[in-house]
Amino acid sequence: MKLIIAVIQDKDSNRLINALGEGDFKTTKLATTGGFLKEGNTTLMVGCNDDDVDNALKIIKDNCSHREQMVAPISPMGGNADSYIPKPVKVEVGGATVFILPIESFFQY
């Protein structure tokens, strides 16, 4: 048995949860915050049999899209922030960061 932990953008969460449900995967949704953009994201925990991991990964990949987003850079450290005019830059966001962990035992009460 495996535990899949997928960190995704909030924009992809409903679509992915529905797709995983159609594939008979049960999910637990956690609201989390990303460190880079300081924006909300979603962390899904999916428990599944070893044989179902590839199918779950395909569903995650098919439902979590990459997109570009404009972000204002932070002010320079130690510099004069009064004269600093941030110019937004494009960064690629989205997709999924996935961790797969072995599960020694599972209990449901």
Each residue's pLDDT tens digit, 49-82: 999 999 999 999 999 877 666 666 665 555 555 5
Supply the pLDDT for residue 94: 67
- CA pair distance 67, 49, nearest whole angstrom: 31
Angle between helices 10-22 and 53-63 (to 10 degrees): 140
Supply the pLDDT for residue 49: 95
Contact present, 44 and 27 (Cβ < 8 Å): yes
Instruction: Measure the CA dihedral 52/63/5/94, to 10°.
Output: 150
Q: Is 94 left (phi over 0), alpha (psi -120 to 50) or beta?
A: left
**pLDDT band for position 103 (50/70/90)?**
very high
Domains plus CATH for the chain?
A: 2-102 (3.30.70.120)
Supply the pLDDT for residue 43: 95
Contact present, 48 and 1 (Cβ < 8 Å): yes
Q: What are phi and psi of 85, to 5 degrees?
A: -115, 110
Each residue's pLDDT tens digit, 16-52: 999 999 999 999 999 888 766 567 789 999 999 999 9
* DSSP run (H or E) holding 93: strand 89-94
pTM, 2 dp: 0.75
